[in-house]
Amino acid sequence: MNNLELSELSLKDGFIGLIQKETINRLYNNIFFIVKNVKIYPLEVEVYYFKEGEYEDNSVHQNERQQNNINHFYIHRFGKGKNDKYKGHAGIDFVWSKENNLYYTWLLRSVIIKKNNQSDTFIGPMKVLQAIKDWTCLSFEDLETETLSFEYELNNNEKYPVFTSERIGLTDSVDKKYRVETLRFIIAKDYANCKYKQKSNPVINFYKKVYQVGAESKETCLSQCKLYLNYIPKKIKEM
């Protein structure tokens, strides 16, 4: 099995599985966003999706800018109005929604940014927002009105697995059935050197599933865990 097939072993059935599959495929195929002359490569994203009667995830801000606004950024605000005050500890989302009353975005938790011959990695939502602002030389307001495009590096032969986990930092005010969904996605590129929060469990869960279905030997799972984590977790040793 290739890394895409391995990444899709834990897909859920039904609607949420389609969202997971779409996100995994986009990251696996090296998606990047373009604003001005800056390229933004997502490494770690969280999916936020709300549509009444279909999937009512109450962690979604439901801001006007999160609906029918594809190819734009949404910077986190206190209210649902498109011009409401920005949050003090804001993050930045890429909007996928193409219709009214569908709120569908990626929170960019970690990215690689490239401009001309320069490149750097940024880990954590607030650092990502500040870096995008600095590298594009755009204000928050201009970032949200700028139309982005996205492309894929299809000629890139580096095809890494995509790890998944529950999203980070959701409070008890969010319905538990949404809190526990695996809607955080991390491409394994340079994983060992990136200081992600809650870094071990996505790798552990990935290789436990890979081993359980017989897709890889225990020895391969052990070596891959060491590659990505710089150690072999006890849960993997005891499989």
DSSP secondary structure of the chain: --HHHHHTTTPPSHHHHHHHHHHHHHHHTTEEEEETTEEEEEEEEEEEEEETTTEE-TTS---GGGBS-TT-EEE-BSSSSTTSPBPTT--EEEE---STTEEEEEEEEEEEEEETTEEEEEESHHHHHHHHHHHHT--HHHHHHSPPEEEE-TT------EEEEPPSS--TTS-HHHHTS--EEEE-TTGGGS--TT-HHHHHHHHHHHHHTTSS-HHHHHHHHHHHHSS--HHHHT-
Side-chain half-sphere CA neighbours of 60 within 13 A: 25
pLDDT at 32: 97
pLDDT at 172: 95
CATH value of 3-192 in 3.30.450, 1.20.140, 3.30.70, 3.10.300: 3.10.300
pLDDT at 157: 74
| Domain ranges, ordered by start, for the chain | 3-192, 199-239
Mean pLDDT by 10 residues, the chain (239 residues): 94 92 96 96 98 96 98 97 94 98 98 96 98 97 97 85 97 95 96 96 97 96 97 94
